[in-house]
Amino acid sequence: MSEKEQFHIESTLPKSWEQEETFNDVLYEWMSRAPWLAISAALHLVIFLIIQAIPWGLFGQDDEVVIEASVDQAAEELPEDPPEEEPEEIEEEEPIEEPIIQDFEISDHNETDTNEDFESTEGDPDMFADSPFDDKAFNNVIGIGGGAGGKFGGRFGGRKNLRAAGGSGTEQALKAGLEWLKNHQDPEGLWDCDEFMKHDPPNDLCTGPGASLHDIGVTGLGLLAFLGDGHTTRKGLYKNVVRKGIRWLTGEQDYDTGLLGEEIGHTFLYDHSIATLAITETYYFDDSPMLDSVAQNAINYITRARNPYGAWRYDVPPMGENDTSVTGWMVFCLKSAEEAGLKIDPDAFVGALNWIDEVTDPANGRVGYNSVGSASSRIEGLNDEWPTDSGESMTAVGLLCRFFLGQDPGKTPAMVKHADLMLKTLPVWDPEAMGCDMYYWYYGSYAMFQMGGRHWKAWNKAMKTAVLESQRQDGAHFGSWDPVGPWGMKGGRVYSTATMVLCLEVYFRYGKVLGAR
């Protein structure tokens, strides 16, 4: 082959002009994928519509809610309101009308459908009521929740029959008495024994001042009247009255000794014991840690005031003398403290009971003031014109102490003698004949209530008549009682009014100690 001979090369690859894509080819390929593009577009559209339909506002941040509250006491957990439940309408409270004493008839029966004697309210004779000084946790339910079995009776509502037991007129008289006390309390919380009338209109001033050195004692009595009707520092229509009074008393306590008030005069232990009883009852009901040390220190002072192996009189430290009157107040203070969980000396109860036995006349059952069968105390030149034979004050104190110290008239014959003797001097409002003794009526009412039966029936009828008919119904005096009697000049109108209110609370203030009889 010659050099000039040309080579011819053949290839199976497509020619360059054969590799170019035409418009038809591209269009064909795009059309072949069209169904999938349509499906994808449809899905995106559906997702977009779903997103638009979601209420995104519900997932946004709620407006900040600011709740302001004013709390007077420890907050209690409140149940949540059910969803979408309309709030209940709050009815406006009707204004409290001023108590008005209406004409009444003294009734020997309960205000019940059966119209039975009061004895029917005492329960089944074959049953025993729970002792008023048994178990704190149990009686918190039985007693304070209502019912005669508990240590503090029916103070807080509970059994309506207990409050109705007083018959016609007692409830209104009680309310009027409490209103008078409320209206004559100082803003600081005390009841001013000799200047309480400063709260009256200038042209209508109350009469009957007491002695200024007894502010502690009459403040304690005033508080006991409100506590007896179920008002505490935390509950009740008069809770502010109680709160102010307790605050003032605690401020008057000597931090080092525990004494409420000052050692002025020879009867300051009366004032201390009455104020201590008010504080320990309040501590029992409210269980406030703020009163713990105050109440305990006050009780410790009472413990130090007792004669070794004996009872109490006027001196601290004791000088070996005892008297029934002071001893009675101390017994109830210590019983109240015991129920409140405070520390007490149980030997004090033994000493008190031994003293009552020592001064009881076995012949007639009379309990003496400072010796066997001795008459009640009088101060020469001050109240000695009031006869001692118009009442049995110390016998009433002794009888009530025996009940609260666990004795039973069925096993202690002296108790029946006490009650029989008291039946001879039933309450009578007769100031001209010097026959009124509110101190006796107070202790006698609570002692005879515990006796029950014929003793209580006779006493109750006489007491209601004397107390209801003597309540003042005029002007600034409305609702109060004149401070007549051997100790009216000491305690004044505050003393007399608080004591008579306490008499009207006998039906529900304390429960039956030994059950029905």
Rounded CA gap, 227 and 487, in Å?
23
- Mean predicted lDDT score pLDDT of the chain: 80
Average pLDDT of the residues in 202-218:
96
pLDDT given at position 388? 79
pTM of the model: 0.72
- Between 120 and 502, residue with greater pLDDT: 502
pLDDT given at position 72? 52
pLDDT given at position 433? 75
Q: Among 3-12, 105-114, 404-413, which stretch is predicted with the lowest mean pLDDT?
A: 105-114
Rounded CA gap, 314 and 269, in Å?
6
Q: Among 96-110, 186-200, 436-450, which stretch is predicted with the lowest mean pLDDT?
A: 96-110
pLDDT above 90 covers a percentage of the chain that reads 58
User: Sorting pLDDT into bands at 50, 70 and 90, what band is 18?
Assistant: very low
**pLDDT tens digits along 173-206:** 999 999 999 999 999 999 999 999 999 999 999 9
Q: Is the pLDDT of residue 488 over 80?
A: yes
- Between 174 and 379, residue with greater pLDDT: 174
- Between 390 and 205, residue with greater pLDDT: 205
pLDDT above 70 covers a percentage of the chain that reads 69
Q: Based on C-alpha coordinates, what's the Rg of the chain? A: 41
Provide DSSP, 369-428.
Answer: SSSTTPPPP--TTTTTTS-GGG--HHHHHHHHHHHHTT--TTT-HHHHHHHHHHTTS---
**pLDDT tens digits along 54-77:** 766 555 555 555 555 554 544 444
**What SS3 state is found at 113?**
coil
CATH of domain 118-504: 1.50.10.20
**Looking at the chain, how many residues does it have?**
517
pLDDT given at position 449? 96
Query: Do residues 438 and 487 touch, judged by C-beta distance below 8 A?
Result: yes
- For residue 307, the Cα-to-chain-centroid distance in whole angstroms is 32
Provide DSSP, 70-112.
Answer: --SS---PPPPPPTTPPPPPPPPPPPPPPP--------SB-SS
Rounded to 5°, the CA angle 156-160-286 comes to 5
**What SS3 state is found at 367?**
strand
Rounded CA gap, 346 and 352, in Å?
10
DSSP 165: T
Rounded to 5°, the CA angle 388-390-392 comes to 75
**pLDDT tens digits along 416-427:** 999 999 999 999
For the chain, the domains span 118-504
Query: Do residues 238 and 183 touch, judged by C-beta distance below 8 A?
Result: no
pLDDT given at position 401? 97
Q: Is the pLDDT of residue 241 over 50?
A: yes
Q: Which amino acid is at 362?
A: P
Q: Which amino acid is at 217?
A: G
